[in-house]
Structure 1
C-alpha cells in the first residue's frame, strides 16, 4: 500500500501554543485563588499526601504563578516553532504535544479526585485533549507521527512535569523571596 505524505498545516504546530494559551488563561484566572481557598480542605480530605506537597502549593503566589506561566510560554512556544520548522517531525514538538494532552488528562483526574472543579479542568476536555487528538491525527495522516509506546507516555508525562518544575524554579528566581 502506497503511503501518501501530506504537509502539516501550521495550525497543527502553532496551534499547540494557541491551545496552551487558552488553557493557561484559565489556570491563571483561577489557580492561585483556588489553591488558597481549597488546600486546607484538601489536606483534611487527603491526609496521606505528603506535607511537602501542601507546602509547595501554598508557597506559590500570584507573582510566581504569572512568572511560571511566562516561562512555560517560552517552552511551549519553542516546541511549536520546532514543530513548524520541521513540518511536525520534531521530537521536541511531538513530545510537547503528547505532554500537553496527557497533562489535560491529569487535570481531569484531579477534578475527579476532588469531585469538583480544579484549575485547568474546564479547558482540558474542550481544548487540551481535543486539540491534542486532532493534531496527532493530522501528524498521522501526514506520515510524520512517531509511534507511541508506553515509555513515550511516561516520557510525555515526565516532560510536562519537568517543564512545570523548571518554570516554577525560574519564576522563584525572577520573583525573589517572599515577605
Structure 2
C-alpha cells in the first residue's frame, strides 16, 4: 500500500501538504477552542495546579484571536515549506522544516494527553489523531526514504523544535493584541 501511495505522490507534493494538514488540524481548534474553554474553565482551574494556571489563560482566547494566532503560525510554516521546496537539500531549511514537522508530531501526543487528563474530548484531538499523526508519520517515512533526513537530523530537529516552541505563545500574543 505504501508503495502505491509513494508512486502516486511525489515527495514535493507530500511536503506541500504540510501547510494544508496544519490548517485542517488548526481549523478544528479555531472552531471548538473558545466554546470548550468557556464550558470547562471552572473545571480547568480546579484541576490545574496554581503554578501552571497561566497555561489556562494562554489558551483562553476568542475565536478571532485563535484565528489570528493560527494565521501567524501558518505564515511561518508556509515560509519554511516554500524555502525547503526551493532547495530540497540538507541545510538550515531542512532542519527548520523538520523541526516544525516534529512539533506537529509531538502535538498529537499533547492532544491525547489532554484527553486522558480531562477524560473526554479536547479541541484538536480528532484531527490530531486522524490527520496530523498519519501525515507526519508518512512525511517522516518519505524524508527518510529519500535520504534527506536520518536519526541525527531528527534529533537535531527535536531540539530546534524546543527552541521554536515559543512561536505558539507568541502567536497567541499577536492574536490577543490585534483582536
TM-score normalised per structure 2: 0.82
Residue number in structure 2 paired with 1:53: 55
The yes-or-no answer on 1:116 pairing with 2:113 is no
Residues in 2 aligned to 1:43 and 1:84: alpha-carbon distance in whole angstroms: 44
Return closer, same or farther for 1:122/1:92 CA change in 2, 3 Å cut-off: same
Give the 5 Å matches for 1:24-173: 24-48=26-50, 50-58=52-60, 60-87=61-88, 89=90, 90-148=94-152, 152-159=157-164, 161-173=165-177
Once the two structures are superposed, residues 58-87 of structure 1 have per-residue CA deviations (whole angstroms, 9 ceiling, x without a partner) of 3x2222111111111101111211221222
Once the two structures are superposed, residues 63-112 of structure 1 have per-residue CA deviations (whole angstroms, 9 ceiling, x without a partner) of 21111111111011112112212226421111111111111221111111
Ranges in structure 2 where 5+ consecutive residues have no aligned partner = 1-9
Contact 1:107–1:121, Cα closer than 8 Å, also in 2: yes
Return closer, same or farther for 1:39/1:155 CA change in 2, 3 Å cut-off: farther
Question: Larger % of helix: which?
Answer: 2
Contact 1:26–1:120, Cα closer than 8 Å, also in 2: yes
- Higher deviation after alignment, 10-19 or 134-143: 10-19
Contact 2:112–2:125, Cα closer than 8 Å, also in 1: yes
Residues in 2 aligned to 1:120 and 1:158: alpha-carbon distance in whole angstroms: 23
Residues in 1 aligned to 2:28 and 2:57: alpha-carbon distance in whole angstroms: 23
Shift of residue 157, structure 1, vs aligned partner:
4.3
Residue number in structure 2 paired with 1:4: none
Residue number in structure 1 paired with 2:3: none
- Superposed CA RMSD: 2.2
Contact 2:58–2:169, Cα closer than 8 Å, also in 1: no
- Higher deviation after alignment, 126-135 or 144-153: 144-153
Residues in 1 aligned to 2:89 and 2:32: alpha-carbon distance in whole angstroms: 32
TM-score normalised per structure 1: 0.82
Ranges in structure 1 where 5+ consecutive residues have no aligned partner = 1-7
Contact 1:30–1:119, Cα closer than 8 Å, also in 2: yes
